[in-house]
């Protein structure tokens, strides 16, 4: 396993698993521009890393991520930024990070303890499988602070839990516990805190031994279909089927079915 600490993020490669650990416990896991940049660069590299099978996103502190570190951001310069600074930098910072989690053709697992607020909540929602300790909380406090949501919140939340519940979280700014988040379909699963590591490790292990190309193409088709009609969705499915049926994992899957045994996928 290779380990690297950069800009408040631990990056580790371990037998096909990319582990991204937010390592800023003193700031409750909040992300400053440097840590966001590190995560973006790591995910961009992961998209073409043939050795990877799954991405795990987690945190080292009591809280997963309390959002963007506004204190650090305001310390970046003593001068007031030019008009339009937010709309210029957000697409290449927080918005780019969320887009990469949705776009990367690898399954993303997210483990949540404590608070997942603001950008931290969006990270959890953008992951393919978020498993949370039942004591954890999800919060979108934007309007409570007098400004509007970002990081894909107005796109992600209604699609996951419906418009009425999305308005409760986004307009009223009410936090939600992990059990309700799982019941509403906002996250994959809520488990007792002492079972979180086992639940996450089991899911990562399952995905690491799955048909990586087929999973990545299916993920891509799901997200593409959210904004299109049935015809566009089937076009994406046809392309994915053409590509996935040419993989070694497809041939292994057929052999395993014929021989009545479990498939041994290698992600190729």
Q: What pLDDT shows up at residue 209? A: 96
pLDDT at 136: 98
Q: How far apart are CA 198 and CA 40, in angstroms?
A: 27
Residue 62: beta bridge partners? none
Q: What is the pLDDT of residue 193?
A: 97
Q: Which helix (H) or strand (E) holds 197?
A: helix 196-208
- Mean per-residue pLDDT of the chain: 92
Q: Which CATH class is domain 2-208?
A: alpha beta
User: CA separation (Å) from 243 to 24, 39, 213, 216?
Assistant: 40, 29, 8, 11
pLDDT for 12 beyond 60: yes
- pLDDT score recorded for residue 205: 97
Question: Which comes out higher in pLDDT, residue 243 or 71?
Answer: 243
CATH 3.90.226.10 placement within the chain: 2-208
pLDDT value, residue 91: 85
Per cent of the chain over pLDDT 70 is 96
pLDDT the model gives residue 68:
87
Residue 143: band (very low, low, confident or very high) from pLDDT cuts 50, 70, 90: very high
The fold of the 212-259 domain, in CATH, is Lyase 2-enoyl-coa Hydratase; Chain  A, domain 2 (1.10.12)
pLDDT value, residue 1? 59
Whether the model pTM is above 0.85: yes
Name which residue leads in pLDDT, 76 or 188.
188
- Dist CA 112 CA 165 (whole Å): 21
Q: For the ranges 75-79, 255-259, 261-265, which has the lowest average pLDDT?
A: 75-79
**What is the percentage of the chain residues whose pLDDT exceeds 90?**
78
So what's the pLDDT on residue 2? 64
**What pLDDT digit, counting tens, does each position of 155-210 carry?**
999 999 999 999 999 999 999 999 999 999 999 999 999 999 999 999 999 999 99
* Domain limits, CATH 1.10.12, in the chain: 212-259
Closest CA to 144 of 108, 178, 118, 162: 118
For 28-74, the pLDDT digits (tens) are 999 999 999 999 999 999 999 999 999 999 999 999 999 987 655 55
């Amino acid at each position: 396993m290779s380990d690297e600490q950069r800009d408040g993020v631990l990056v580790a490669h371990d037998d096909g698993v990319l582990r991204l650990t937010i390592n800023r416990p003193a700031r409750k896991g909040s992300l400053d521009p440097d840590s966001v940049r590190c995560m973006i660069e790591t995910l961009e590299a992961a998209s073409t890393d043939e050795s990877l099978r799954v991405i795990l996103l987690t945190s080292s502190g009591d809280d997963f991520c309390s959002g963007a570190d506004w204190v650090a951001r305001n310390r970046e310069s003593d001068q007031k930024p030019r008009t339009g600074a937010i709309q210029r930098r957000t697409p290449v910072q927080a918005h780019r990070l969320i887009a990469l989690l949705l776009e990367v053709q690898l399954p993303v697992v997210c483990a949540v303890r404590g608070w997942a607020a603001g950008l931290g909540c969006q990270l959890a929602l953008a992951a393919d499988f978020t498993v949370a300790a039942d004591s954890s909380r999800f919060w979108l406090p934007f309007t409570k602070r007098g400004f509007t949501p970002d990081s894909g919140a107005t796109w992600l939340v209604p699609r996951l839990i419906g418009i009425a519940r999305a308005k409760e979280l986004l307009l009223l700014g009410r936090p939600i516990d992990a059990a309700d988040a799982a019941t509403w379909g906002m996250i994959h699963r809520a488990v007792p805190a002492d079972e979180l590591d086992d639940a996450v490790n089991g899911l990562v292990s399952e995905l690491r031994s799955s048909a990586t190309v087929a999973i990545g193409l299916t993920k891509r088709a799901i997200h593409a279909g959210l904004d299109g009609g049935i015809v566009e969705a089937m076009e994406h499915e046809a392309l994915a089927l053409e590509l996935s049926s040419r993989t070694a994992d497809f041939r292994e899957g057929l052999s395993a079915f014929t021989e009545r045994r479990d498939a041994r996928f290698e992600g190729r």
